[in-house]
Structure 1
Amino acid sequence: MDFRYDQSVALDDVPVLSVADWRQEVAAQMRGDRRLLALFGLPEEGGAGLCALLRQDGEQAIRAVRTAPLSAYEALTPDCPQAHLFERELWEQWNIRPEGHPWLKPVRFVPHGCLTDAPGERPGPGQITHYRVEGEEVHEVAVGPVHAGVIEPGHFRFQCYGENVMHLEISLGFQHRDVERRLLGGPQPAHARLMECVAGDTSIGHATAYATALERLAGLTVPERANRLRRLGLELERLANHTGDLGAIAGDTGFLPTSAWNGRIRGDFLNLTAEVCGNRFGRNWVCPGGVALDVDAAICARLLDRLRHCWRDVRESVKVMFAAASVQDRLEETGALGGGTAQALGLVGVAARACGLTRDARFDVPLSCLPLCETQPRVEKGGDVLARARVRSRELADSVDLACTDIQALSHTEGETCLPLPECLPARRLAVAEVEGWRGEICHVAVTDGEGRLACYKIYDPSFHNWAGLEAALRGEQISDFPLCNKSFNLSYCGHDL
């Protein structure tokens, strides 16, 4: 059945299909124009059934398809590659086996069947059989999980022929914290703070998704002022991280002026966030029902002045980088990914838009009725590092426009900033929240039990979709291009590991 993205749906209204009919329906939808938002185990008496949520880009209807509890089914991945990680997660969490999955291995190395009572030993992170390319002149390069910089842990296994990468396999899960299971039985007041830790550089994005999911379950409409403050937080988060990413890309090309300038300017954008909420990463900004803060005219005046100053700085810094022939030569045709591959893998956010996909939750499934000024999804065609950098550069201008609009509106208007949620959420309902974080689409799915408590909560950070894109982008590239390609995606380890 279909339901509007901004409304919840009663579980009992979603038809329970046979496994064969479910697979046929989901595969047909993905072969068409819909993509997989979520695929997870839906707890019921006797185990867990399958639940898939799909939506077409540019449309606001979500298709929900589910089954009765089961232990195995014919895998979708051979026909629909974007399902590969979802199905591995299903097997790992619920012990539901996707028969015929081409490479069934752990996602986060949690106890096998961790959400059921099924016994199983937990393998350690990285303790898997890696894909190997055989040949006398083929060699293997292993990188991580401990890296040279102060970054998150992840293991990268390259199969190389000389300097050329034939295959890259990325193994994560070292930072698994069991976030989803901690939410079961909620919502609890502490859970809003937990959401800010899903991915620390996307605190506002994940907190907004969590709050939106609960509000849609409750049928609560957030006040306009709260929506403006939320959007301001999201755009400041985007500005800081896009600025930092462009500086990191410049650094990996050896172009030090923009690398140095953007490091400082990123800090200036983070300080704008701290001006509002007291924390540079946006902690304590968003809460269920609205926001946990407000701004007065004096704060708005300071924000506007400092924002315009930061924009002048970053605009010139990025302009200098793109004007350098050495930068253009280094970025162009490096780590290129075709639009067809991006579509098949289900990429989202900057990585998808750089491949020509018009995919932006701000426009497809907006969080509010606030006008988006003259902004639009910023799309490039090259799919390479240069395209990913250009998408970020163009989105900087859009974020400044939206942030300035919201600051000016907040300075001369008043209104409520938060409404209370009911003590108990409606029973047996499902709600979806899609938020365009700075990396891409964040998707949270909340399902309540018969008493209105959270029986299932799913979190999909954009990195969940996009790590496969980085693997594909390295095929045929020189291994020396990996750091630059990695920076151009800049995916979250902890957002994937949960």
Structure 2
Amino acid sequence: MKAQNQYIKLKNGSPILTADIPVLSYNDFRVQTIKLLLDFDKAHCSNYFAIPKGIGFQLIVIIAADVNHDFLVFSHQLLSIETALESLTQDHFAFHIFEREIHENFNIQFLNHPWLKPVRFAHNRADQSKQIANYPFYHFDSTEMHEVSVGPIHAGIIEPGHFKFSCHGETVKHLEIQLGWQHRGIETLMLHKKTDLQRTLLAESITADSAIAHTLAFVTAMESLSQIKVDANLNLERTIALELERLAIHTGDLCGMCTDVAYQLGSSVFNALRTPIINFTQRWCGNRFGKGLIRIGGTHYPLNEGLKSDLILVLNEFESRFVEMAEKTFNIPSVIKRFDGIGIISKINVGLLGCVGMVAKTVGYKRDIRLSHPFGYYKTVEFEPKTCISGDVMARGFLRYQEALQSIQLIKTMLELHKSELVSSKPDYKVVLNPNSICVSATEGWRGEIIHTALTDQNGQLEWYKIKDPSMHNWKALELSLRNIEISDFPINNKSYDLSYSGHDL
């Protein structure tokens, strides 16, 4: 007889009772996980984490079923930390980062994992003897190879990360990236802070360039767990803000990519074009990154007719100049030489790594929460993500161009639907959460899927809060895409990914 699947289906932002999560033996848990992830086009692992339960732990996996809008959730109860578990990584490499994190936090052992090295050196990690200054870098025992270390402190005002290049001449054979320098303990603070406003401010601070996307994931989880219904107008305003964030960051990244290949015209124009977008966000809510705009149950900054008129003027002036500059950039030989065929990540490796968002879309995967697990306004439209196939710097740049144009059209459509005369409620900072519940809240930030998972206890208090930024999946892709190219190509390759240190480190 064919074994039946043992999981519960969740829709994005729809809570269930934690008691309804199936608890499987580890063998069944492992077999089902591997089976569900056989087809990279149909599913990927969105999150996998452990929660202390009594003297043991509950291991919870969240599989994104990308073709039917479901999250598939199931678990295993580990009764003793003395019990070692067979690693999932040996069968599906995307689990490497999740198992490393679980091991670092709780000292749970995974047999046959390729390397259980630290992820971020969390303040409350199980083994305090492991120090960030003594990171176990991979080392080549060779007289022909040499190592180049960069960071964690870098020139300019950027986040810290330690990059170690193992090179043969000028060719990079291996890149290893050590992160953790930005760890602040956001997930723990989410439990310690007792007011919803404090937690909202934490969500805004996960990574500043995705403040709107992360805060939207947080407030959606809180609203769902407290049964707050958000009106259509507020959903439109939030989605407009999310697409403005995507538009601004993509434009800024194109500026950075042009800078890294010494294309001064593109650098200057894209930099100038980004400014009116973030300046509009500041006029709307008082902050260029949208902090203060997204709040539980309502808003302090409704989108009025004056702001809407301003935004239409900004977008119209932006679009023509943006298209002209982008077309020049992607057709000028000096840029093509530095973009085309540089930093390739293959489709099979993207699938094996479980990459999401932009990295997945540059090799042809339609891995976009707006399509696979729609939320807010996206539930009402047929959204089709933009994709490329070459997986190189050119693809990562050109995808930004295409997504920026798509964001403009989405915003203009939403502005036509928005009714300024309908004013949304004020925010609610004293929500009452459903007890013994779990909610998976996902948004599509400009880097890719952002997952916030909230669990409550019997008193309706947050018992656990798990955050996953898309960079968690995608840093390994940057490492692999630098292999067998010159070390001088690292800056443009790195910028074309523009991954988050703080989003990874939490």
TM class by smaller structure: over 0.9
Provide closer, same or farther for how the CA distance between residues 374 and 329 of structure 1 changes in structure 2, counting only shifts above 3 A: farther
* Residue of structure 2 in register with 1:424 after alignment: 432
Aligned AA for 1:110? A
* Residue of structure 1 in register with 2:109 after alignment: 97
Report the alpha carbon displacement of residue 218 of structure 1 after superposing the two structures with TM: 2.4
Larger deviation, residues 338-347 vs 316-325 = 316-325
Aligned AA for 1:256? Q
Report the alpha carbon displacement of residue 142 of structure 1 after superposing the two structures with TM: 0.6
User: How far, CA to CA, are the matches of 1:179 and 1:371 in structure 2?
Assistant: 30
Pair 1:77-2:84 in alignment: no
Report the alpha carbon displacement of residue 82 of structure 1 after superposing the two structures with TM: 0.4
* Residue of structure 2 in register with 1:366 after alignment: 374
* Residue of structure 2 in register with 1:210 after alignment: 218
Which residue of 177, 190, 197 maps to 1:183? 190
Instruction: Output aligned runs, 1:446-485, within 5 Å.
Output: 446-485=454-493
Asked if structure 2 preserves the Cα contact closer than 8 Å seen for 1:220 and 1:421, the reply is no
* Residue of structure 2 in register with 1:52 after alignment: 61
* Residue of structure 1 in register with 2:234 after alignment: 226
Q: Say which SS state the counterpart of residue 286 (structure 1) adopts.
A: coil
Pair 1:130-2:142 in alignment: no
Which residue of 5, 8, 11 maps to 1:5? 11
Provide closer, same or farther for how the CA distance between residues 179 and 112 of structure 1 changes in structure 2, counting only shifts above 3 A: closer
Asked if structure 2 preserves the Cα contact closer than 8 Å seen for 1:448 and 1:455, the reply is yes
User: How far, CA to CA, are the matches of 1:26 and 1:292 in structure 2?
Assistant: 43
Pair 1:31-2:38 in alignment: yes
Aligned AA for 2:107? N
Asked if structure 1 preserves the Cα contact closer than 8 Å seen for 2:370 and 2:383, the reply is no
Q: Say which SS state the counterpart of residue 337 (structure 1) adopts.
A: coil
Provide closer, same or farther for how the CA distance between residues 464 and 132 of structure 1 changes in structure 2, counting only shifts above 3 A: same
Root-mean-square deviation (Å): 1.8
Instruction: Output aligned runs, 1:213-362, within 5 Å.
Output: 213-362=221-370
User: How far, CA to CA, are the matches of 2:420 and 2:433 in structure 1?
Assistant: 35
User: How far, CA to CA, are the matches of 1:302 and 1:467 in structure 2?
Assistant: 38
* Residue of structure 1 in register with 2:4 after alignment: none
* Residue of structure 2 in register with 1:117 after alignment: none
Provide closer, same or farther for how the CA distance between residues 3 and 419 of structure 1 changes in structure 2, counting only shifts above 3 A: farther
Report the alpha carbon displacement of residue 331 of structure 1 after superposing the two structures with TM: 0.6
Q: Say which SS state the counterpart of residue 31 (structure 1) adopts.
A: coil
Provide closer, same or farther for how the CA distance between residues 339 and 370 of structure 1 changes in structure 2, counting only shifts above 3 A: closer
Asked if structure 2 preserves the Cα contact closer than 8 Å seen for 1:75 and 1:99, the reply is yes
Report the alpha carbon displacement of residue 216 of structure 1 after superposing the two structures with TM: 2.1
User: How far, CA to CA, are the matches of 1:357 and 1:459 in structure 2?
Assistant: 23
Asked if structure 1 preserves the Cα contact closer than 8 Å seen for 2:70 and 2:373, the reply is no
Q: Say which SS state the counterpart of residue 67 (structure 1) adopts.
A: strand
Deviation sequence 1:122-142 (CA, Å, 0-9, x none): 433242221122322111111
- 5+ residue gaps in structure 2? 1-6
Larger deviation, residues 12-21 vs 472-481 = 12-21
Aligned AA for 1:107? V
Provide closer, same or farther for how the CA distance between residues 157 and 4 of structure 1 changes in structure 2, counting only shifts above 3 A: same
Which residue of 148, 153, 157 maps to 2:164? 157
Deviation sequence 1:331-355 (CA, Å, 0-9, x none): 1110011111101101111111001
Asked if structure 2 preserves the Cα contact closer than 8 Å seen for 1:4 and 1:62, the reply is yes
Report the alpha carbon displacement of residue 177 of structure 1 after superposing the two structures with TM: 0.3
User: How far, CA to CA, are the matches of 1:219 and 1:315 in structure 2?
Assistant: 43
Report the alpha carbon displacement of residue 266 of structure 1 after superposing the two structures with TM: 1.2
Deviation sequence 1:212-260 (CA, Å, 0-9, x none): 1112222332111110110011011001100011111111111110111
Asked if structure 2 preserves the Cα contact closer than 8 Å seen for 1:336 and 1:473, the reply is yes
Asked if structure 1 preserves the Cα contact closer than 8 Å seen for 2:24 and 2:76, the reply is yes
Provide closer, same or farther for how the CA distance between residues 107 and 398 of structure 1 changes in structure 2, counting only shifts above 3 A: same
Asked if structure 2 preserves the Cα contact closer than 8 Å seen for 1:3 and 1:9, the reply is no
- 5+ residue gaps in structure 1? 115-119
* Residue of structure 2 in register with 1:391 after alignment: 399
Larger deviation, residues 127-136 vs 197-206 = 127-136
Identity %: 36
Asked if structure 2 preserves the Cα contact closer than 8 Å seen for 1:26 and 1:65, the reply is no
Report the alpha carbon displacement of residue 421 of structure 1 after superposing the two structures with TM: 7.5
Report the alpha carbon displacement of residue 4 of structure 1 after superposing the two structures with TM: 2.9
Structure 1 runs of 4+ with >6 Å offset: 371-374
Aligned AA for 1:90? I
Deviation sequence 1:33-70 (CA, Å, 0-9, x none): 42111111123222322110101223211111111134
Provide closer, same or farther for how the CA distance between residues 418 and 225 of structure 1 changes in structure 2, counting only shifts above 3 A: farther
Query: What TM-score, normalized to structure 2?
Result: 0.94
Aligned AA for 1:331? F
Q: Say which SS state the counterpart of residue 452 (structure 2) adopts.
A: strand
Asked if structure 1 preserves the Cα contact closer than 8 Å seen for 2:299 and 2:424, the reply is no
Provide closer, same or farther for how the CA distance between residues 342 and 16 of structure 1 changes in structure 2, counting only shifts above 3 A: same
Pair 1:41-2:53 in alignment: no
Report the alpha carbon displacement of residue 113 of structure 1 after superposing the two structures with TM: 3.9
Query: What TM-score, normalized to structure 1?
Result: 0.95
Larger deviation, residues 249-258 vs 234-243 = 249-258
Report the alpha carbon displacement of residue 477 of structure 1 after superposing the two structures with TM: 1.3
